[in-house]
Structure 1
Amino acid sequence: MTSSGENEQLRSARYALADCEQRYRGLFEAIDDGFCIIEFIDGPQGPLSDYVHVEANSGYERHTGIRHVVGKRIREFAPDEADGWVALYGEVLRTGRPLRFERYFDAAGRYIEVSAARFEGVSPRQVSVLFRDITQRKQAEAALRESEAIARENIERVQLALAAGAIIGTWLWDLQQDRFSVDEGFARAFGLDPALGRVGLSLEQVVATVHPDDREALSNAINEAIKRGGPYAHQYRVRRANGQYYWIEANGRVHLATDGTPLSFPGVVLDVEERRAVEEERNRAAAELRALTETLEQRVAERSAELLRAEEQLRQSQKMEAVGQLTGGLAHDFNNLLAGIAGALELVATRLSQGRIVDAERYIVAAQGATKRAAALTHRLLAFSRRQTLDPRPTNVNALVNGMTELIQRTVGPGIHVETVGVAGLWPALVDVSQLENALLNLCLNARDAMPNGGRITIETANRWFDHDAARTHQVPEGQYLSLCVTDTGVGMAPEVMARAFDPFFTTKPLGQGTGLGLSMIYGFAQQSGGQVRIYSELERGTTVCIYLPRHYGDATDDAVERIKLPTPQAEVGETVLVVDDEPTVRMLITDVLEELGYTVIEAADSGAGLRVLQSDVRIDLLVSDVGLPGGMNGRQMAEAARQQRPGLKVIFITGYAENSVIGNGHLEPGMHMLTKPFAVGTLAARVRELMNA
Structure 2
Amino acid sequence: MQFLDDSHGCSGWSGEMAGRICAFDWSRTELGALDSWTRSLSSTVQLMLASPLPMVMLWGRPGYMIYNDAYSEFAGGRHPYLLGSPVELGWPEVAEFNRHVVDTCLAGGTLSYRNKELVLLRDGVPEQVWMDLYYSPVADDDGRPAGVMAMVVETTERVISEQRRQTAEDAYRADNERVRLALNAGALLGSFVWDIKANVLSGDERFARTFSYPTGQDLNNLSQEFAETRIHPDDRSWVQERVKRSVEVGEAYNAEYRILRPDGSYLWVLASGCCEFNEQGEAFRFPGVLIDIHERKTAEESLLRFTRNLEQRVADEVEARLAAEEQLRQSQKLEAIGGLTGGVAHDFNNLLQVIAGNLHLLARHEAGNANVQRRVSASIAAVERGAKLSSQLLAFARRQPLSPATCTPQQIFDGLGELLQRALGETIQVNMAAPVDCWPVFVDRNQLENAILNLAINARDAMKGEGTIDLSADNISLDRAFCAGKGIVAGDYVQVCVADTGVGMPAQVLAQAFEPFFTTKPDGQGTGLGLSMVFGFVKQSGGHIEMSSVVGEGTRVQLYFPRSLRSMDSETPTPEAHQRGGHERVLVVEDNEAVRASSVELLREEGYQVLTAANADIAMQMLLEGAQVDLIFTDVVMPGLIKSSDLAAWGKVQNPPVAVLFTSGHTRDIISRNHQLSPDTHLLSKPYSPQSLARMIRTVLNG
TM-score (norm 1): 0.48
Taking structure 2 as the reference length, what is the TM-score of the superposition?
0.48
If asked which structure has higher relative contact order (CA below 8 Å, sep 6+), I would say: 2
Structure number with larger C-alpha Rg: 1
